[in-house]
Structure 1
């Protein structure tokens, strides 16, 4: 229990958007247990609240988007890789969730578990959830399927270009026919 309290205290001592917001709230309200109360309130909402889906998606999106923008603006490219890895895992999880959401919704505390999973994926440590999931199942599967995926993307982009050209020709032809009829 002591190590989690120390980890939480180190997080609160960092300067980021969350701690700045909590600091301003503490200054305005005079309540010094606001971080703990906020986290308890969020946990309560995730477990029992009607807005649990929205809250969980906001938690999984807002801070990573902010950190990604900061990573893009920084000269260090290692943080870019960290956040790109998070977004790959987040998108695969979102796709899997889309197809299984009708079943997962019925599991008790699903959104609390989903939020815990997303927080694990964005932990500011070298071996967080997104790094583990990317390097173990995702990267090997991608390497095995890369050639077929590349040919599929090439074929689809070629078909899309052909369809766009065909539609442009048809629209031009229909426009010219319409102009000739109105003369």
Structure 2
């Protein structure tokens, strides 16, 4: 097969560490520094899933050594979890894990008290929408929305 065959055969060893460790480490550090918790969900979920994959490999290594394509399957799955066009880890959290995890009412203390009270009444999806709104239009615009809602509520 030659040089190209050798590269193809060892693609998981060449690309795997970058896809499964280096990029997620970099993205996780960026998520820590960003004010939004949206990216935290993606990367925390990724690390939990990666830990499960590693535990699975350690537990079943004798069986997995007989599967010639295991390393490629793992690489493809981790690429789906990691790459921003897929955000697979966030997808798994939203569609599978979230149903079984009780969402707390914690809202970041970086918001003013009246905004925090409003956000605590919202679902996680609602909070995400409000955070996107605040990021796009600013905290003052959200404050105007809250005041208009309070004024409307007092009428009824």
TM-score normalized by the length of structure 1: 0.44
SS for the counterpart of 2:20 is helix
* 1:49-104 Cα distance to aligned partner (Å, 9 max, x none): 2x844752442010010011011112222112221111111111211121122222
User: Match for residue 50 of structure 2?
Assistant: 90
User: Match for residue 157 of structure 1?
Assistant: none
- RMSD over aligned CA atoms reads 2.9
User: Match for residue 89 of structure 2?
Assistant: 130
- Structure number with greater Rg is 1
User: Match for residue 9 of structure 2?
Assistant: 48
How far is 1:135 from its partner? Answer: 4.1
Structure 1 counterpart of 2:65, from 102, 105, 115: 105
SS for the counterpart of 1:87 is helix
Higher helix share: 1
Specify which structure has the bigger relative contact order, considering alpha-carbon pairs within 8 angstroms and separated by 6 or more residues: 2
Unpaired runs of at least 5, structure 1: 1-40, 144-183
Structure 2 counterpart of 1:64, from 24, 39, 46: 24
* Aligned mates of 1:44, 1:55 — CA distance in 2: 14
TM-score normalized by the length of structure 2: 0.51
* Aligned mates of 1:82, 1:103 — CA distance in 2: 30
Do 1:89 and 1:134's aligned partners in 2 also have CA atoms closer than 8 Å? no
* Aligned mates of 2:61, 2:101 — CA distance in 1: 24
* Aligned mates of 1:97, 1:141 — CA distance in 2: 25
Unpaired runs of at least 5, structure 2: 103-156
